A = this chain, B = another copy of it.
Amino acid sequence: MWQSLLGQLISGDVKALARSISFVEAEQPGYKDFMEALPLNGTPKIIGITGPPGAGKSTLTDRLIGELVNAGNKVAVLCVDPSSPFNLGALLGDRIRMSQWYTHPSVFIRSLATRGAMGGLHPKIIEISDLLKAAAYDYIIVETVGVGQSEIEIAGLADVTVVVLVPEAGDEIQTMKAGLMEIADIFVVNKSDRPDASAFVKNLRSMLAPAFSNRLRELPIIATVAQEGKGTGELVTAIEQILKDPIANEKKSWLLTEKLYQLIQKERMQNIDKAVIKKEIEKAATNEGFNLYRLLLPYRVS
């Protein structure tokens, strides 16, 4: 019964949390009732970390976990990995960077593979962050490579979105995906001990200048050397600053609207089986005068 699982989840049992995620991911019987019953009065803050591959997102996340845990917080990390097998080696490397935290009692880390052609974060990312809320985490860090749909989703999910770049992006920055520019609440220039770093920060600042006029506040640009922990304290301060004074987020209601629409669609289509439709089509197609809209007739609502 999911009721006892729910009790354990709320009590903060890590194994129950892992089991809850699997239960919801697999859509086992009762998972919707389980989701409905979740008490979501906790107010964990969701931090989105995104940027190109190799920017040092995982090392930065590793440092962020440290800063937050040392301040007495419970921290959950969701690493959203592209499903492509080509990235597997790199990702394993990333995960190793965080390995010191895997057994820490205040830290929960879960890797999620993106699925589906559209490249969103994960089909159950909203459910999973709600499970973490119910389990009373103080911070949820969602880390992902900024690709396609995932950027828009991370902006909708996170309370603060951090875009990580490296000085090498110098030339690329001119053609930097507009998506990344739009979603950022904070820019981090990591590996800023490299010689061209300060020129890069200056460039980035002047590039972002036109965007400021439309914004209620200036976009912080923070130089870090995540490997050595330089600048990560400043990053935490900037994150806290934004969390204290949130700007109403249109993207957030967009994401939830899409999600609820999909859930309703799934409800309404749950007894429609494509394999059955295909058989129906193939049977009908052998008749002369085959008419698709006559097959629709029994399904018509009005």
Contact = CB atoms under 8 A, between A and B. Distances in A.
Contact of A281 (B38, B256, B299): B256
Report the copy number of this chain in the oligomer: 2
A35 B292 CA distance: 8
A260 B296 contact: yes
Interface string A49-63: 000000000000000
Contacts of A172: none
A267 B296 contact: yes
Interface of A: 32, 35-36, 38-41, 126, 130, 252-254, 256-257, 259-261, 263-265, 267-272, 274, 277-278, 280-282, 285, 288-297, 299-302
Given A257-B274, A265-B272, A267-B301, 16 more contacts: A32-B300, A35-B291, A38-B293, A39-B289, A126-B292, A130-B291, A253-B278, A253-B281, A256-B292, A260-B277, A260-B292, A261-B274, A261-B277, A263-B292, A263-B296, A264-B296
20 contacts: A32-B293, A35-B293, A36-B297, A126-B292, A252-B285, A253-B281, A253-B282, A256-B285, A257-B277, A257-B278, A259-B292, A260-B277, A260-B296, A261-B274, A261-B277, A263-B293, A264-B269, A268-B269, A268-B301, A270-B301
